[in-house]
Amino acid sequence: MHFRRSLALSVVALLGAVAARRSPEDVEVLLRGGTIIDGTGAPPRVADLAIRGDRIVFLGDASKASLAPKRSIDVRGLVVAPGFIDPHTHTQGDLGSPDKRERANLAYLMQGVTTVITNNDGGGKLEIGKTLDAWTKNGIGTNAALYVPQGSVRGAVLGMSDVAPTAAQLDSMRSLVRRGMEEGAIGMSTGLYYAPGSYSPTEEVIELAKVASRFGGIYDTHMRDESSYTIGLIGAVNETIRIGREAKLPVHISHIKALGTDVWGQSDTVIALMRAARAQGVDITASQYPYDASGTSVGASLLPRWAEVGGRDSLRARIADGPTRARLTKEMELNLKRRGGPASLLISSTRDTSILGRTLDQVAAARHESPIDAALQIVQQGDASVASFNMNEKDIEKFMVQDFIMTCSDGSAGHPRKYGTFPRLLREYVFTKHVLTLPQAIHRSSALTAATLRLPERGTLAVGNFADVIVFDTATVADRATYREPTLLAVGMRYVLVNGTLAIDGGKFTGAMAGRALRRAIVTH
Ligand SMILES: [Zn+2]
């Protein structure tokens, strides 16, 4: 396959060279003299890159070719790389917004991200075809693709009840997954930590993953446990491997981490398990964001899942009932300990501005109540997003250097990762701490992700590929978003081209809505 493709490309190049001798070849954009880091992990080299239509049509020494560019840009001293691909975002709202500025997906474009995946964690709309069509019709700033969200599938059939499905209910769920896959989803996502996905037994998940498998889809998971809540981090990794083995499809662990002191140091075991599974033929990979805080809500981080069975009203009734509240409080205290205590939870997004930017510790002290009572009150008033400081730098770096672990943002309200992930990886882990080389960091943010998600003709700079291309300055590329100011746009991206169109030109958004709705590639097996 690889051989045949390179043979085909050299024939194209040969024909191109013959044509070039006759007359200058029209190209739209020529990037001259940049330092090419092509996404494969190969070392940097200086070369020119030309784009016509939505494709890269030339990569080499333009002085030896005969090119007639409409626009020629001097990019000497700058890095030219494939646009970054983010396998885990929460951009459904942005991309579906009536507001063009939100659909432009600037939070990502300014980081050099040209493709985002969404409907992760098992959540989001089930209407895959309709969503993809709306993106095409209304215009979006980056490319985007969707998962069929398993939590929504279960919710549609079983609501918030903690029961195993009947054969007929399982069939209904299968047909919802099938419909999503037929409409172009790239696979199925789960959020087995969250209700209602948490109520799904492993066997049910396997049955649904088999449907995605038949369509050549992949399985993406926010695992049942990243800590020591239920089956433990190691148990959850084993569950993911089992799903991959029995449903016969690639499995991808989203935002891999060792959450909380109970499991710090378990990165070694997790990596060993993944390596062993890979050696046995299970295609298991993971993504990671370069921050030591996760982003979640007060409820999701502290409430035990039994408290959420039946939905909001049932939760309220449990909180109001003395003995149930006592049991709830006890379990929440344990969960708070897992999270590192009340000073480790920073309220990052909420309607109640009086608690914004404060830790749960500070909120409780100001109200003269216990952290759990304060948390229960927040949950009852509609909940709040938190940045949860729960990771250890050693685990982060051990995961980061694995050649099957790639970059994701998991961007969400109230966490700087939505605006900063990719430049932060470069600034912090390439230029400051030297954990990765620049070609490695670019590889794990582009080609590795494209291969894992089965996105053809993207992720590397190669003739014939879609022209998702970024140009940045290594001296200035940086994230600016912080936990206190999480929506500051990143800096340093000089040019960002999406499908051959300049979306960022000279560091500024051009207004172009050049993104495409990406449908699962047709597979035949
Ligand atoms: Zn998640």
Mean pLDDT by 10 residues, the chain (525 residues): 47 50 83 98 98 98 95 98 98 97 98 98 98 98 98 98 97 98 98 97 98 97 96 98 98 97 96 98 98 94 94 94 96 94 94 92 97 96 93 97 98 94 98 98 98 97 98 98 94 98 98 97 56
Task: Give me ligand 1 centre to Cα 279, in Å.
Answer: 27
Q: How far is the CA of 458 from the centre of ligand 1 (A)?
A: 25
> What pLDDT sits at residue 7?
47
On whether the CB atoms of residues 421 and 409 are closer than 8 A, the answer is yes
Distance 223 CA to ligand 1 centre (A): 8
pLDDT of residue 2: 45
Angstrom CA distances, 325 to 297, 369, 370, 512, stand at: 20, 15, 14, 53
Structure token digits, residue 339? 């999270």
Convert 319-328 to b/e letters by CB count within 10 Å (16 or more is b).
beeeeebeeb
C-alpha separations of 471 from 67, 81, 175, 348, 476 in Å: 21, 6, 44, 32, 12
Going from the Cα of 322 to the center of ligand 1, the distance in angstroms, rounded, reads 32
Residue ranges near ligand 1 (ion) with Cβ within 5 Å: 121, 222
What's the 120 CA to ligand 1 centre distance in angstroms?
A: 7
Q: How far is the CA of 425 from the centre of ligand 1 (A)?
A: 19
220 CA distance to ligand 1 middle (Å): 10
pTM, rounded to two decimals: 0.92
- Distance (angstroms) between ligand 1 centre and the Cα of 337 equals 20
State in Å: Cα 194 to ligand 1 middle: 9
